[in-house]
Amino acid sequence: MRATVKTALAFVNRVTAALYRISDGRLGGKSVGLPVLLLTVSGRKTGLPRTVPVIYLEHGDFYVVVGSAFGSKTDPDWMRNLAAADSVRIRVADQEWDVSARIATGDERDSLWRNVIAPALPSLAKHEARSGRAFPVGVLARP
């Protein structure tokens, strides 16, 4: 991703996160008709907390997030940070929790993609195919 695009996205993420917090999710709480949470995870290199708005899907007792990066050829930084973290903090509307975080692999990833992600975001498969990579699927579970 180009540096200018990355800088612009970082700015949009900061503004969206601020609006989300101020309005308890009434502003910035939906994208493409799906709910958005704020994900705060430590940077894998800096250790500094990073907050990004992320579309999520509920599945049983956990939240599912996808690292599509708008179909980019590389995983988004937040997903690489998530993969390196044991736990993260999420905010859904006006509630915040520390959650365990992991990347789904193998059969679990395939099942989540087929049964949870594809029905909610059918166009995501096209973006994944064009990107040349398998989009990582994160699983966030409240203790």
How high is the pLDDT of residue 19? Answer: 96
> For residue 1, what pLDDT band results from cuts at 50, 70 and 90?
low
Task: Between 2 and 1, name the one with better pLDDT.
Answer: 2
Cβ atoms 39, 66 nearer than 8 A: no
Q: Please give the single-letter amino acid code of residue 128.
A: E
CA distance readout (Å), 134 to 4, 69, 82, 126, 137? 25, 12, 16, 11, 9
In angstroms, rounded to a whole number, what is the distance separating the alpha carbons of residues 137 and 55? 12
User: Which tens digit of pLDDT belongs to each residue from 5-22?
Assistant: 778 888 999 999 999 999
pLDDT in tens, 64-116: 999 998 788 888 999 999 999 977 999 999 999 999 999 999 999 999 999 99
Looking at residue 9, its pLDDT comes to 84
Q: Please work out, in degrees rounded to the nearest 5, the angle formed at the alpha carbon of residue 102 by the alpha carbons of 12 and 135.
A: 60
What are 13-57's pLDDT values in tens digits? 999 999 999 999 999 999 989 999 999 999 999 999 999 999 999
pLDDT band of 142, cuts 50, 70, 90: confident
Write down the pTM of the prediction. 0.91
